[in-house]
Amino acid sequence: MSHYIPENLPGSIQHFIDGQFVDSIGGETFDVLDPVSNESYVKAAAGQKADIDLAVAAAKRAFDSGPWPRMLPRQRSRILHTIADLIEARDQRLAELETFDTGLPITQALGQAQRAAENFRFFADLIVAQSDDTYKVPGRQVNYVNRKPIGVAGLITPWNTPFMLESWKLAPALATGNTVVLKPAEFTPLSASLWAEIFREAGVPDGVFNLVNGLGEEAGDALVKHPDVPLISFTGESRTGQIIFGNAAPFLKGLSMELGGKSPAVVFADADIEAALDATVFGVFSLNGERCTAGSRVLVERSIYDDFVARYAARATAIVVGDPHDPKTEVGALVHPEHYEKVMSYVEIGKTEARLVAGGGRPDGLPTGNYVAPTVFADVSPDARIFQEEIFGPVVAITPFDSDEEALELANNTRYGLAAYIWTNNLKRAHNFSQQVEAGMVWLNSNNVRDLRTPFGGVKASGLGHEGGYRSIDFYTDQQAVHITLNEAHSPRFGTGGQ
């Protein structure tokens, strides 16, 4: 099958440091593959400690003596709105590059590009409208909160929806007046290189945005351990998060970590079953299943279980798998051969643990590329590896339950706690169950529809801290309390011999 390649791909992918595109100091590079042919289409600069040092030094200079942190919020807001305009104007190109680099279906990549623009608009508005607390003791004291940007923020982003997730960190970090060093995932560096041109065109001063490509063990590690980077925002695997936590500890850095998930979707017999099917099929197979909030464990009440499983399997079997650039494609190619092997190994494990009702291997007619047929396992026991471990691909586990108590126990029976999806028309059950489920975010009778004002984050192994809305402003600023006395300051008099 012929394979679509976008026009005008770069000849190489470089770092962007202090307003300049540069190679690694030592000339190190790594190969970037496209997930349909699995062939290298470009070499990217592989950042080492020396490159991170340069980028952090540039960001620190821009923070200590540049105009960015000193601008009025409205000035920064105008630039952020211009960034959003530029992203929207380039959304087709962005989506095309993202799809080529990640294997995401083109229609979903386009939605992610538009969401990236909205992230910048949201924080551009928020910093202008932002209010800070004042506390009055009438006639005695006024106390107010003075927010200040913190310094150089280290942003480490994943490969599943790279450009959108980069925007999620870049927008609040820059809106609040910090400078940044971005280290994108090594599997998918292509779209990140567009930020440099967008920011330059929008009027972001040199040194405010710096980009260093490379491996997590090299560039990411150097960024986390750099003494002049007081903040690290990381999205990725829980195990990597633990390593970052340990490496940041000696510096007492601010950490925001959105990690893995194994989120339950709980379907009660009184739910709107057609709507629940739509949402639970989309919830695990959209973005190729490579999403941290995927509802990858579907828990179904026993009285509707057999019918639900049959209908779910029929839907999964009919999903259109194919060329990521085809608008009809619903599931594209997984990001990288390493990840493909991991997902396929879980498919094989699942065959020994549960009943396979759809998929279970490579789809017909796609002999090459990282394609996995949407795979559904039923009758999955709670101690099965496919019930407990994050697969991060188009694979779902379906398990029956008999009572509300059992449903809650199953939902909470995992080390993760990112999202949960509850399907019921019983109002009391909906709220009681939601409040008892161990998840940072709950959706009732809907799929993952995000309001950018709400806190995004997980509990247990799914993360540390929250971003979104004012929580992002909190993370990227220091809150300094300033106290003013309005009358005589009556202090106890020490050292006066009681006079």
Residues with catalytic function: 258
Q: How far is CA 87 from CA 82, 121, 201, in A?
A: 9, 11, 11
Residues 337 and 202: their CA atoms lie apart, in Å, by 37
Angle at Cα 83 formed by Cα 124 and Cα 33, nearest 5°? 125
Residues 480 and 483: their CA atoms lie apart, in Å, by 10
Nearest to 170 by CA among 145, 186, 153: 153
Residues 54 and 60: their CA atoms lie apart, in Å, by 10
Q: How far is CA 104 from CA 7, 101, 297, 413, 443, in A?
A: 18, 8, 22, 30, 24
As given in the structure block, the two tokens for residue 25 are: 């100091």
Q: How far is CA 468 from CA 108, 147, 157, 295, in A?
A: 22, 17, 16, 21
Strand 355-358 versus strand 375-378 pairing type: antiparallel
Nearest to 431 by CA among 444, 441, 417: 444
Angle at Cα 112 formed by Cα 244 and Cα 198, nearest 5°? 80
Tell me the sheet residues that pair with 265: 298, 421
Q: How many CA atoms lie within 13 A of 198 on its CB side?
A: 29
Sign of CA pseudo-dihedral 430, 421, 308, 320: positive
Q: Which residue has 């309390």 as its token pair? A: 481
Secondary structure letter of residue 204 according to DSSP: P
| Contacts of residue 221, Cβ cutoff 8 Å, sequence gap at least 6 | 247
> Which H/E stretch holds residue 279?
helix 273-285
Task: Determine the distance from the C-alpha atom of residue 465 to the mean position of all C-alpha atoms in its chain, rounded to a whole number.
Answer: 13
User: For the chain, how are helix, strand and coil distributed in percent, rounded to 5?
Assistant: 40, 20, 40
